[in-house]
A and B are shown apart, each in its own frame.
Chain A
């Protein structure tokens, strides 16, 4: 088995596991828990390999002082990198412990077996425990290539019902989120953002605010404003007062020209995508065959959309003679540490960044920015811990959104309905804007607002397989010839970064809607048409399973009801997911989802319920994006400032969801948290067509859009 790439920079066994004398084991990961139940999966993996009860395991997530540096928790990579590393580290530890036990007991290795951390000899009955052997000591060994984890037939935990780790805390409100931290002498902070991206502070009379009850400090550095107070509500009130009193120059406005026009006419950098990977080479000419029977084209659009965490971004910070300590719900504590060091001009060794749970983030939201804000506030009150929370309007107006995108597809088919030429072009801003070390530049919001501001570094199109804009742009079908181009478009109006599944959401929406259109144009059954072009057996299997399962439900042929489906493999390398949607379109164009079926193949299943909730959660979030969500803005700023102006799906709008897991015990486990985003959008679009014969190619599918399409049809 190849060693996990996580060992490249963290090869010491002790950086992954520690055995305590009280029978507990701490395992370390550089990844973070985001509600995706990574802690559960990792506990099970370690417990499985070590042969101990999962209750003995504590998973310690990212902390710049203690944990291995594994970058960001993103891209559905954790199971394959950190999960594999923990499996191999645990197997290595077990192997070492057995060797130590053989020496101590004077028994041959072969006679030893492990039960919940107790190593006993089957011949003599002598035994010793892991904790007796290790208690507090270290292995001091480097993980080389001699690791032999268990084979699937030896598993007793993996794939079975796994323990309910952490649920008691969540359902009783005793789990501590970063928002819930409390230190002696702690102060509360709120920020006051400019009214729009480009507004400049002209004037602020601080005198009145400083007289308000509880105000300790007003932080003002350029157009970065924050207020530090004794009590939280005092900070809320003082921030409101500052917002009322500040005078802004709002002469520079946001470009509100139609975003899809901007996507096409702005300066751009274009790269060909070959075999899923973007390359720095010349874009090949558009060269469809001349002998095709049919040429079909369509354009698909996705607006800016937000992460929309239910909890506002928050952070705690303490600045003292030790340096800076920050508690954050960032997805990458190590890169954040470097980004903070640049802005604060501090040595990175003087910054300690600790991960704490936050509300679900689904990508790069305001977490890192809040950490920066808290650090700036803490610097104004040395020695005092400060807890900062964004208000709802800060979250909605300033988080980095998922980019608006336009996908243009063209296909040439022969008379039998075989796709001869497939052309895919995606226009988008970047999807990769996370903060890290950027020297003179910075990707942290507050850094742009300081008196001596840093500017955002210019992004380059990122080559490599499925990185951002072109994630899942390469179709999984066996088309004879394909031309796939990514266009990184410059100077677009809104701040953007990573949102769950990145470019895959729009690319799969486009591909899987378009292939439905092609099937229809050829008067073919959409399932058979796909199967004719699909040789990947695992993709065929999930599609078959989902469609078959959906048929077991009521198949309403009544007017306004429809069924659609779609399939994709995330990044063409991770979890396979097929989605079937049954829905109803009413006379006003409102779409009500009735039923959803998912079939997924995420390789070996570690935690079936965790996997199921990731897939279903992804489906429902994507359905919300697809039916309801669009960030609206005008010249002065973001209009979508709260849950009324940016509505998301509610309980009465969700469909019944059924999920089929295809377990592949012999295949590596694959990340699945982003697998259903794309297929869900396309399945909805195809179901709308089935229901009312309208192709809606622009997200979100609001009743107005549906009525619009009906008028034009």
Chain B
């Protein structure tokens, strides 16, 4: 097995894993970053989204080797319970989670959007979340949280 080196949340990691391993298993099982959720393994639901060089990408199906020389950010990399990112704060304020399984992937997609478009309208947020699924029907609260976060971050 070749050594794979990846940069996750600002840290370099050298790993002895099969290079075909989808990134999500490396994040969750080798690096202990369980915030990234496995939903479908088919790049259809968005629960597994992480930032790759700032863009929201699926991590459930793409081999870890593809991420060499790129920077990966997971939900753990943007905030912690003691030090929430403004997007996470907005989600707490709007109580935008029921079961919460889809939420980390959705927050990462919103982060990628707000980083390039700090003042999106509702439609643009919906577009950015077009491949994120939520089954609890928390969409209204999630959209409110996204708009709130945009407002807070523009201050």
Q: A residues engaging B (CB < 8 A)?
A: 34-37, 164, 167-177, 179-180, 182, 213, 231-233, 236, 308-312, 357-360, 362, 389, 391-392, 609-610, 613-614, 616-621, 624, 642-644, 648-652, 654, 656-657
Contacts and interface: CB of A to CB of B under 8 A. Distances in A.
Given A171-B92, A173-B34, A643-B45, A652 B79 contact: no
A35 B29 contact: no
A391 B45 CA distance: 13
A398 B133 CA distance: 20
- Nearest 6 Cβ contacts at the A-B interface: A173-B35, A35-B99, A620-B137, A170-B100, A617-B137, A360-B99
7 contacts: A167-B95, A170-B103, A310-B37, A360-B101, A391-B41, A621-B135, A650-B126
Interface in B64-98: 74-76, 79-81, 84, 88, 91-92, 95-98
Nearest to A162: B95
B44 to A, nearest CB: 4
A392 B39 CA distance: 7
Contacts of A172: 35, 75-76, 79-81, 84, 88
A672 B120 CA distance: 34
Interface string B116-155: 0000000101110110111111111111000000000000
Contact of B100 (A175, A179, A621, A648): A175
B97 to A, nearest CB: 4
B143 A651 contact: yes
B44 A642 contact: yes
Contacts of B103: 170-171, 173
B31 interface: no
Contacts of B28: 180, 232
Given A174-B81, A652-B127, A613 B40 contact: no
Nearest to B93: A164
B92 A35 contact: no
Contacts of A176: 34
Contact of A651 (B32, B98, B126, B135): B126
A169 B84 CA distance: 10
Interface of B: 17-18, 20-22, 25, 28-29, 32-42, 44-45, 47, 74-76, 79-81, 84, 88, 91-92, 95-104, 107, 123, 125-127, 129-130, 132-143
Contacts of A657: 140
Nearest to B132: A651
A620 B143 CA distance: 14
A370 to B, nearest CB: 14
Contact of B99 (A34, A174, A391, A652): A34
Contacts of B123: 652
Contacts of A232: 25, 28-29
A492 B107 CA distance: 42
- Among B36, B103, B134, the most chain A Cβ lie within 10 Å of the Cβ of B134
B138 A650 contact: no
| Main secondary structure on B side of the interface with A | loop
A609 B41 contact: no
Given A171-B84, A310-B45, A652-B126, A233 B21 contact: yes
A358 B98 CA distance: 11
B23 to A, nearest CB: 10
Nearest to B123: A652
Contacts of A651: 125-126, 129-130, 132, 134, 139, 142-143
A92 B123 CA distance: 52
A311 B47 contact: yes
Nearest to B75: A173
A624 B134 CA distance: 11
Nearest to A623: B137
Nearest to A180: B34
Contacts of B88: 168, 171-172
A392 B41 contact: yes
A518 B145 CA distance: 42
Contact of A652 (B76, B102, B130): B130
A642 B140 CA distance: 25
Contacts of B38: 179, 311-312, 389
Contact of A310 (B21, B22, B135): B135
B25 to A, nearest CB: 5
B129 A392 contact: no
Contacts of B84: 168, 171-172
A217 B92 CA distance: 44
Contact of A35 (B18, B98, B141): B98
Nearest to A644: B44
Nearest to B22: A233
B99 A613 contact: no
Nearest to A642: B42
Given A169-B100, A182-B34, 8 more contacts: A167-B92, A311-B101, A360-B135, A621-B135, A621-B136, A624-B137, A651-B130, A651-B134
A621 B134 CA distance: 9
A244 to B, nearest CB: 17
B97 A170 contact: yes
A656 B28 CA distance: 36
Contact of B135 (A179, A180, A359, A613): A359
B47 A310 contact: yes
Contacts of B138: 613, 617
A174 B35 CA distance: 6
A609 to B, nearest CB: 5
A182 B136 CA distance: 26
Contacts of A609: 95
Contacts of A34: 99
Contact of A179 (B22, B37, B44): B37
B25 A233 contact: yes
A233 B4 CA distance: 16
A35 B137 CA distance: 11
B9 to A, nearest CB: 12
A622 to B, nearest CB: 8
B99 A359 contact: yes
Nearest to A311: B101
